[in-house]
Structure 1
Amino acid sequence: MLGPAMQGTGTRDARGRTAKGMRRQPATLSRRARRLARTLLLAALALLPGCAALAPRAVTIEQRLAVFPAEGLPLERPVTIRWNDHLVPWIEAETDRDLAFALGLVHGHLRGAQIALLRLVARGRLAEVAGPFATEVDHALRILDFGRAAPEVERRWPADTRAFVEAFLAGLNHATRAAARRPPPEFALLGLAPEPYTTADLLAMGRLAGTDVNWLLYFSLLAERGNPGFARLWQRALEAGASAAEPAAQEGTATPHAAFRAILAGTASRAGSNTVAVAARRSATGGALLASDPHLSLNLPNLWLAVGMRSPSFHAVGLMVAGLPILGLGRNPHLAWGGTNMRAASSDLFDVSRLPPAEIREHRVTLRRRLWPDTERTVRTTPHGPIVTDASLVPSRPGEAIALRWIGHEPTDEITSLLRAARARDGAEFRAAFAGFGVSPQNMLWASRDGRIGRLMAATLPSRPGFPAEDPVLDAADPAATAPWSRLLDSRDLPFVEDPPEGVLASANERPEPLGGRVPPPLGVFFSDGDRFERLHALLAARERVSPADLMALQTDTLSPKAARLAAALLRRLRDVPEAAPLAAALAGWDGDYRADARAPLAFEFLIRHLVLAVLAENGRDGAAGRRGPETQWNFITTFLLRDLDALPPGRRAAALRDAAARASRDLARFRDWGDVHRLRVAHWLVNLPVLGGAFVQGDAPVGGSRETPMKTSHGLVEGRHAATFGSMARHVSDLSDPDANWFVLYGGQDGWLGSAAFADQVPLWREGRAIRLPLRPETVAAEFPRVTRLAPAAQPTAAARR
């Protein structure tokens, strides 16, 4: 979506001023100024119709329900939609088709603008709203071609999947047609018009949500290949397991490169996430428990939408990705489930420079640009995937052509898997549902009504013997390099576990370990640091019996064990450094808790920043590549900072420590505590618009957490006040002892309509660790979802009645 595409694109100092970058020659400035003035003038003219988005009027829940598109519905039987005070729908339908249609109707009504933008990104059409700025972004997206596998996926669909998707699509398109009379405020601002959706659009959006989180690191490493020291950088990346999947608010500038990077980071399905399952024998309630919190962009609207549903085949509550007809995580009467990204490598890079010309196909694509002439670009494909280095935003060496082979270009079927998972009655059915699931690879955890818990690997991956030790780019002319793609593994070939002796399971994007006594095949190389995984297990081990309240507290935990250990090790090295006195006073006895009101994490992060940059400079890596590359990621810091510091000659090490301590102490004196610097911004994704973005900020407040705390609020190296734009953006807890014991909360709200009372009403709940109950019992639903919308087939005299 446009939100992740544009998030985190401004570097600011402590007073909030945007950095301007390198100086330019006066003549260049003049030419750029003229172009900028022309662009701004055209933008100003274009934005005049969008004033409603700049100053949206307040809209109540009742007003939003009054305009729900309930006329002329092609239903088979009457449908009832009940709503709670947060505009969460609970749909009761007599047929599965009508349930799917009503879900599409709800998605289109609540998230019409968001879904429209998701489609533009998935289809490489951002320039149609962003103008020439997005030209090269669109070219890169057209090369990635998220819709490439759609025709074959659709052809292979089982009849029940096809019927469900087509009905969902019909409901979404009905809401889209209704929106033509009163489109969302963003439409006028961005020059959008309602446009019908196709199954290919939905599949492309699904593939966008399944992007490989390894791409960001692959592409950043491509920029380094051929440079002196690359072999060492690659070896260290393998050792650290570094991941560049998480955008930081301080990182980058407002460039197409930053926008493209943020698209890949902000839409990767559950790019982070925690999930915990507790068996009944370890539960305080007597029922198995499950808790899940996906990590994605913290911009609004949230990517997820909470729903309840009941039809002949479905009876569930959970979270759906806006615009897609599946429950990503949730609960039915028999089972609760959630997942985390495996960080498995579902892609390989191939050097196709030596392929015969006959194996390279090319075609031209037309890119439409708002307020600018259309342009054309070339897209080249090979048997090993599209040539991604043809995109100007993907670095390459002269004369080199590198293709990306991705499971997402294969006809895997995630929609069927997730529809079956939502109907599963036990762990065996849940595990079987994921045969054929492809992207993005997920660790799926479940807890069942009979008290059992389990974990499986939902993925389709090449059957690799291992990963290259010297270079991430494989030779397409080498049969040994391409052979793994001739046999693909899926969940049936990968380990799983049921009923572990500890009675608990946890997943946090960590490096895979043996499951059920089976060692997994080589899955990937870049995983999250084990900090969250370690902390989750420690919290679970501290309770003989775990309650739902314990799991809710776990989701808001802000302690980082590795930060505490690293801080203690640095203090020992700073013992005789006078400049470190303020830091030592703040860090003495710190347990690694990133509470918003704590001063220690502030001291730690300032010290880390200056030490990392000092060590990079000592090793010749003090340029932009070093500051924004994998070396600034938490994995690299925890793996190499002390080692590299201790490897310096004594005199240079002492100088680096003194200088870093002095700089960090000065930074520390400017702020009060962690929350004074680490902020949580409540903002619509339009905040990323130039000039006008500030109009879309609804609030700014201190927040706890860090890169790898269970309550994740990610950031990069800290130089001053910043916004956390990536982290724990939804939460779910279910207790299988009670069908009604299911709680969900979004960072944001259900409604994407600017000005709606349900646009950001869940933010206070999220901040306070509270949630909304989504029950399964009909009588509880009736009591807690008091607003009713009744939908009738169009042939009946009364199409809709409300009370």
Structure 2
Amino acid sequence: MTATLGLRPFPFLLALLLLLGGCSALWPGEVDRQTRLASFPTEDLPLESAVTISWSAEMVPFIEAETDRDLAFSLGLVHAHLRGAQLGMLRRLSSGRLSETAGPLTSDIDHALRILDFGRAVDEIWAEMPQETRDWLQAFTHGLNHYQAQQTTPPPEAGLLALSDEPWTPQDLLRIGRMAGTDVNWLAYFALLGARGDPGFMELWQRTLEAGLNGTASFRQNTQTALLSEVLAGESRSGSNTVVVSPERSASGGALLAGDPHLGLFLPNLWLLAGIKSPSYHAVGMMVPGLPFVALGRTPAMAWSGTHMRAAGSDLYDVSGLPEEAFEVEETHIGQRFWFSAKREVRTTPFGPVITDAEMITNGADETLALRWVGHENTDELSAMLRAMRADTPESFREAFAGFGLSPQNMLFADTQGNIGQIMALVLPEREQFPPEDLVLDASDPSTHWQGLLDVRDLPWSLNPPEGFLASANNRPTEDGIKVGYFFSPSERVERLQQILAGQERTSLEDLAALQRDTRSLAAERLAAALLAAIDTLPESSEHEDFLSRLRGWDGDYAAHSPAPVAFELLLYHLLPQINGLGEEAGDDLAEVVNEWNFLVVFLERDLAAMPNAERKAALSRALAAAAEDAEDFETWGDMHRLRASHPLANAPVIGRFFTYGDWPIGGSRETPMKTAHGLTNERHSARYGSQSRFLADMADPDATWAVLFGGQDGWLGSAHFDDQIPLWLEGEYLQLPLTPEGVEAVTVQRQSLEPGR
């Protein structure tokens, strides 16, 4: 009773304490590049030889070292300098330690994260890594710790977030990598579990298998479950588009590649740009903070980018019938800022951790459920990516990904010899029955158990297709044979990419840049025409012709200046609850799997046609009247659909307004090539997930590599390079990432020499 009473004023106390402890974050001073780099350590370093870092005007580093170890160490310095606070929060999140920042309000989230246990396999992975990989990761970790130890001024948000200077370990970094590889299918599983046991669940399950899900299934809003969903979806590499073009279809005569990863649209970006060079490695591209490899990039021989496979790397098991000795119980202590530590239990079984011990995960499921996940197995992504950065043929690139498990990727590549191709970089469980008849499997049935694990060597791949291009967009694979999953994105994004590429006799990098900004939805064009045809049969449709005229002739383009998407989205918002029997005022209560775009694409026309004629006409009539009224508030899609540049702290009470840096009208939608995802709404809203960064490479020229981030390179609040790339992103412009010494020299504005200690 006392503890409950004591927590009632907690949000107000928290806001006050955050205000008192976060002044430097709320009002950070402006810092230019020279001032930021003045604090970068350059002398008396534990190096074998001098290392050179050439910094561009946008603070992109190009690091050149005489040994691989020195490169890894210097890379650790750079990651710590550019993204120290972000790394601290990634460590907290991946370890289930959010309450050390936010206090008791997030203890249930920490309990859920500890049950999911991103670190379960990291000790085994570290122990069995090749020595070469261990040396690389240890040197990178040493660089992080050296920077942290010499840093005299903590990041502005360190006090606000209660970040400490605890030393980094390789296991910390491996755990962050596991979190970045979160299985996006979990969000669908967890959303569906709440309906399991309902009379219509099996129909919902079959519909879900038919429609798939887009990997960011919504939870009900304004709940801790919604926050957990944001953490899992926003931090994981769950989306992306990638295309490759053969030299025969390229304007330059070299193979081309374009990739744009999809992540949470917040600052700092979850990528940073860098160039590296040592005896074994020479690459430019995008790196995840804390992970010492180029995940999306280019070497002198090859370029690559991946899209999430949406592979089924997890299964849920009913373990209610297991004997007591099959459950291993551990007590975990959750440190809570401003409060006492909390004690929770974490139970594990041979089928994985018991996730129903965290009610916020499973929405009140009755059974005792365990989660088996590939991420709890010994897979080695770091060694795979280091091998990939040294690959120089399609065959060696494919072989590099042996043992690569997270996140499962459709990896597309192009090389200087003119080859283009696609591999499946993942570890996939072998199952007797797939897809399953039910969401939850019976642990006592041996036929449901994993029979082994497959990897890239067991899976089909594509090399130099006759079409002269390849495109991937989280879509269902078309290859015959092994089934890899069932919760894929709709095919419209990949179809639009293929449509654009097929219509170009010769494709240039400029064409690929335009493709990355394309805002047309083929499915929306079709659905809008179907809705218009149905509405035109209503006698009162002529009364709303001003509204309906917005949709007539619409080609599905969600351009910011277009009025059509407003009308279309408002019709969906008011119509869908009635089709699903939830009533006219369901509103945000529809934020479950039936709100998914996949369901609309597959079932909207079918369900509308299946309604009795009178009910269908009444539903259309009500939706039309309500949508027409709402549309008076929004002239264009950009008036309604916004792109907000903000730090995750923008969601905090009282202080959140200090962490929003801009708000712009934006085009795009859920499944347009320029993805700016949103839910069903009749209000002004911000896209929260989408095309967070862009990458282009022309293999005809070693310096023709370009990239841009939504945000900037530097995670330091107040830095001139915290959000300076946003204007470039909005205008479709890029930064050059050259490979040659001459190219690097041309973009260098400041050079530092890192000197070894005596």
| Band of TM-score, shorter chain | over 0.9
Residue matched to 2:72: 100
Mapped contact 1:743–1:774 kept (Cα < 8 A): yes
Q: Secondary structure at the match of 1:188?
A: helix
1:487 to 432, 443, 452: 452
CA deviations 1:364-402 (Å, max 9, x no partner) are: 000000001101000000000000110121226565210
Deviates more, 1:36-45 or 1:560-569: 36-45
1:501 to 451, 463, 466: 466
Q: Matched residues in 1 for 2:11 and 2:684: separation?
A: 30
1:660 to 617, 623, 627: 623
Q: Matched residues in 1 for 2:220 and 2:199: separation?
A: 24
Q: What's the offset of the Cα at 1:748?
A: 0.2
Residue matched to 1:703: 666
Runs of 5+ in structure 2 lacking a partner?
none
Q: Secondary structure at the match of 2:303?
A: strand
Alignment of 1:358-757 (within 5 A): 358-395=325-362, 400-482=367-449, 485-514=450-479, 519-577=480-538, 578-579=540-541, 580-617=544-581, 627-757=590-720
Structure 1 pair 280/42, CA: closer, same or farther in 2 (3 Å)? closer
Question: 2:512 is aligned with what amino acid?
Answer: L
Mapped contact 1:246–1:714 kept (Cα < 8 A): no
Deviates more, 1:258-267 or 1:362-371: 258-267
Q: Matched residues in 1 for 2:511 and 2:109: separation?
A: 44
Q: Matched residues in 2 for 1:126 and 1:444: separation?
A: 33
Mapped contact 1:246–1:726 kept (Cα < 8 A): no
Structure 1 pair 545/147, CA: closer, same or farther in 2 (3 Å)? same
2:723 to 751, 760, 763: 760
Q: Secondary structure at the match of 2:683?
A: coil
Structure 1 pair 387/106, CA: closer, same or farther in 2 (3 Å)? same
Q: Matched residues in 1 for 2:711 and 2:150: separation?
A: 25
Residue matched to 1:220: 191
Q: Secondary structure at the match of 2:119?
A: coil
Mapped contact 1:244–1:633 kept (Cα < 8 A): no
Q: Matched residues in 2 for 1:686 and 1:38: separation?
A: 18
Q: Secondary structure at the match of 1:786?
A: strand
Mapped contact 1:214–1:345 kept (Cα < 8 A): yes
Q: What's the offset of the Cα at 1:296?
A: 0.2
2:223 to 242, 255, 258: 255
Matched, 1:145 2:117: yes
Deviates more, 1:298-307 or 1:416-425: 416-425
Q: Matched residues in 2 for 1:511 and 1:85: separation?
A: 41
Q: What's the offset of the Cα at 1:686?
A: 1.5
Residue matched to 1:799: none
Deviates more, 1:236-245 or 1:318-327: 236-245
Q: What's the offset of the Cα at 1:621?
A: 11
Residue matched to 2:302: 335
Q: Secondary structure at the match of 1:370?
A: coil
Q: Matched residues in 2 for 1:492 and 1:687: separation?
A: 45
CA deviations 1:145-175 (Å, max 9, x no partner) are: 1111111111111121111101111111112
Q: What's the offset of the Cα at 1:253?
A: 3.5
Q: Matched residues in 2 for 1:386 and 1:477: separation?
A: 16
Structure 1 pair 204/453, CA: closer, same or farther in 2 (3 Å)? same
CA deviations 1:288-314 (Å, max 9, x no partner) are: 000000000110000000000110011
2:169 to 198, 206, 214: 198
Q: Matched residues in 2 for 1:621 and 1:611: separation?
A: 8
Q: Matched residues in 2 for 1:40 and 1:370: separation?
A: 14
Deviates more, 1:43-52 or 1:259-268: 43-52
Mapped contact 1:435–1:490 kept (Cα < 8 A): yes
Question: 1:780 is aligned with what amino acid?
Answer: G
Q: Secondary structure at the match of 1:551?
A: helix
Structure 1 pair 70/544, CA: closer, same or farther in 2 (3 Å)? same
Residue matched to 1:15: none
TM-score between the two structures when normalised by the length of structure 1: 0.92
Question: 1:617 is aligned with what amino acid?
Answer: G
Q: Matched residues in 1 for 2:211 and 2:585: separation?
A: 19
Residue matched to 1:800: none
Q: What's the offset of the Cα at 1:41?
A: 2.2
Q: What's the offset of the Cα at 1:470?
A: 3.6
Mapped contact 1:616–1:622 kept (Cα < 8 A): no
Q: Matched residues in 1 for 2:356 and 2:588: separation?
A: 18
Q: Alignment RMSD, CA only?
A: 1.7
2:132 to 160, 172, 191: 160
Runs of 5+ in structure 1 lacking a partner?
1-27, 796-803
Alignment of 1:307-346 (within 5 A): 307-346=274-313
Alignment of 1:14-413 (within 5 A): 35-179=7-151, 181-245=152-216, 252-269=220-237, 271-395=238-362, 400-413=367-380
Q: Secondary structure at the match of 2:22?
A: helix
% identical equivalent positions: 53
CA deviations 1:67-123 (Å, max 9, x no partner) are: 112243111100000001100000010001011111110000000000000000000
Structure 1 pair 281/398, CA: closer, same or farther in 2 (3 Å)? closer
Q: What's the offset of the Cα at 1:732?
A: 0.3
Mapped contact 1:346–1:439 kept (Cα < 8 A): no
Count of residue correspondences: 754
Mapped contact 1:47–1:188 kept (Cα < 8 A): no
Q: Secondary structure at the match of 2:341?
A: strand
TM-score between the two structures when normalised by the length of structure 2: 0.97
CA deviations 1:707-739 (Å, max 9, x no partner) are: 000000000102110011100001000000000
Q: What's the offset of the Cα at 1:609?
A: 1.1
Question: 1:366 is aligned with what amino acid?
Answer: H
Q: Matched residues in 2 for 1:464 and 1:477: separation?
A: 15
Mapped contact 2:19–2:655 kept (Cα < 8 A): no
Question: 1:345 is aligned with what amino acid?
Answer: A
Question: 1:108 is aligned with what amino acid?
Answer: A
Q: Secondary structure at the match of 1:318?
A: strand
Question: 1:90 is aligned with what amino acid?
Answer: F
Q: Matched residues in 1 for 2:345 and 2:473: separation?
A: 40
Q: Matched residues in 1 for 2:585 and 2:123: separation?
A: 47
Question: 1:279 is aligned with what amino acid?
Answer: S
Q: Matched residues in 2 for 1:775 and 1:396: separation?
A: 50
Q: Secondary structure at the match of 2:172?
A: helix
Q: Matched residues in 1 for 2:365 and 2:144: separation?
A: 46
Q: Matched residues in 1 for 2:572 and 2:752: separation?
A: 55
Question: 1:202 is aligned with what amino acid?
Answer: L
Q: Matched residues in 2 for 1:108 and 1:785: separation?
A: 21
Q: Matched residues in 2 for 1:396 and 1:587: separation?
A: 39
Mapped contact 1:465–1:522 kept (Cα < 8 A): no
Q: Matched residues in 2 for 1:83 and 1:681: separation?
A: 28
Mapped contact 1:235–1:469 kept (Cα < 8 A): no
